[in-house]
Amino acid sequence: MKSVIVEDIAKKYGNVEALRTVSLEVEEGEIFGIIGPDGAGKTTLFRILATLILADKGKASVAGLDVVYKYREIRRCIGYMPGRFSIYQDMTVQENLVFFATLFNTTIEENYHLVKDIYIQIEPFRKRRAGALSGGMKQKLALCCALIHKPKVLFLDEPTTGVDPVSRKELWVMLQRLKQQNITILVSTPYMDEATLCDRIALIKDGMFMKIDSPAGIIASYSEILWAVKGNNMPQLLKNLREHKSIRSSFAFGDVHHITVDEGFSVEELTEYLAGKGNTDIRIYPIKSNIEDCYMQLAKS
């Protein structure tokens, strides 16, 4: 069964095209990631699916319900965690949970099994005002509030942005447990490393999906010759790499540069060229692509 269906959805804000006729289908019980940088259109898509704004054209359904004509029913069966911290900061942890449960005519006790793994981490702070929590604790509280009514579909809009690495890892462990409850999860993120934790992903840029597939499928489709390059002066090295005609692309990736090169171009030729530009301690070696490499390849094509 398809939990989410999007057909040719488009949305403009003035002259800005936030979404350009996008389509996708998400299976029931799937963790589906929308991967792309800020401004790519992720939040606009989520707000349309959560029935908060209307698309300019196209149609969509969530849990078999049309987002325009059945918006009341959709709001009762989804959980939505927006990018900005959306719970009431002047209320305590416990008060927020009770309030959100009451909105859906349920109680914390009724669906405690869904939030137990998350709630036990914030329970020691149940009497603390939400605004006084750390970023990771705020995230956990917001997720509890989005789950307390046992939604069929859960929308998480950049849930790990601005959160420490430990809390990011904990969140994804929680999502895998929620998947076992047959909850469909749509999550957006600008972090390419999180893409591999999804069942399938859509790579989005400038309001358009460049590719939709499993992370492994997207990586397997990478067709460039990819090398990593290091040297003593990384900024100068990147500048020199971008000046060579046989190098198709050059990007900084952490403590190395990833480059794609023309077929037939050799490591020896590149080493000689870079040494001639004054670079020292040069190391060049072939590597396997990751999701970010695939994104960059698709973005420039």
- 18-43: b or e for each residue (b if 16 or more CB lie within 10 Å)? bbeebebebeebbbbbbbbeeebbbb
**Listing from the earlier edge strand, what are the strands of the sheet with 57-62?**
16-27, 2-13, 57-62, 65-66
Tokens 């349920």 belong to residue: 106
Top pLDDT among 258 and 118 is at: 258
Whether residue 295 is predicted with pLDDT greater than 70 in this model: the reply is yes
In this prediction, residue 85 has a pLDDT band, given cuts at 50, 70 and 90, of: low
Residue 287 has pLDDT above 90, yes or no: yes
Residue 1 confidence (pLDDT) above 90: no
The Cα 206–Cα 37 span in angstroms is 9
Q: Are 238 and 228 in contact (CB under 8 A)?
A: no
Which tokens belong to 143? 């997720």
d(CA 153, CA 29): 9
Q: How many CB atoms lie within 10 A of CB 176?
A: 11
pLDDT (0 to 100) of residue 127: 92
Instruction: Name the average pLDDT for the chain.
Output: 92
What CA–CA distance (Å, rounded) separates 143 from 156? Answer: 8
Arithmetic mean of pLDDT, 199-221: 97
Q: What is the token pair recorded at 65?
A: 């319900």
Mean pLDDT, residues 186-202 taken together = 93
Taking residues 49-76, report their average pLDDT.
Answer: 96
- Asked if pLDDT for residue 62 goes beyond 80, the answer is yes
Cβ–Cβ under 8 Å, residues 137 and 85: no
| Exposure class string for 189-209: b at 16+ Cβ within 10 A, else e | beebebbebbebbbbbbebeb
Average pLDDT estimate for 168-179: 85
User: Would you place residue 212 in the very low, low, confident or very high pLDDT band (cuts 50, 70, 90)?
Assistant: very high
Torsion angle of the four alpha carbons 9, 13, 15, 16, in this order, in degrees rounded to the nearest 10: -70
pLDDT(170) > 70:
yes
Is residue 111 within 8 A of residue 147, CB to CB? The reply is: yes
Residues 195-223 have a mean pLDDT of: 96
Say if residue 164's pLDDT is above 80: no
CA dihedral 294, 298, 299, 301 (to 10 degrees): 140
Strand, coil or helix: what is 238?
Answer: helix
For 213-246, the pLDDT digits (tens) are 999 999 999 999 999 999 999 999 999 999 999 9
Cα–Cα distances (Å) from 71 to 11, 51, 149, 193, in that order, read 18, 6, 17, 34
Question: Which domains, from first to last, does the chain contain?
Answer: 2-219 (3.40.50.300), 222-300 (3.30.70.2070)
- H helices present in 148-290, as ranges: 165-179, 215-220, 234-243, 267-276
Tokens of 220: 């397997």
Q: Give the pLDDT band of residue 105 (cuts 50, 70, 90).
A: confident
Write the DSSP string, 82-146.
Answer: -SS--S-TTSBHHHHHHHHHHHTT--TTTTHHHHHHHHHHHGGGTTSBGGGS-HHHHHHHHHHHH
- Lateral strand order in the sheet of 247-253: 247-253, 256-261, 225-230, 283-286
Mean pLDDT of 183-198: 92
Which tokens go with 237?
Answer: 């090295």
**Rounded distance, CA 297 to CA 154, Å?**
30
Query: What is the structure's pLDDT at 95?
Result: 92
Residue 97 has pLDDT above 70, yes or no: yes
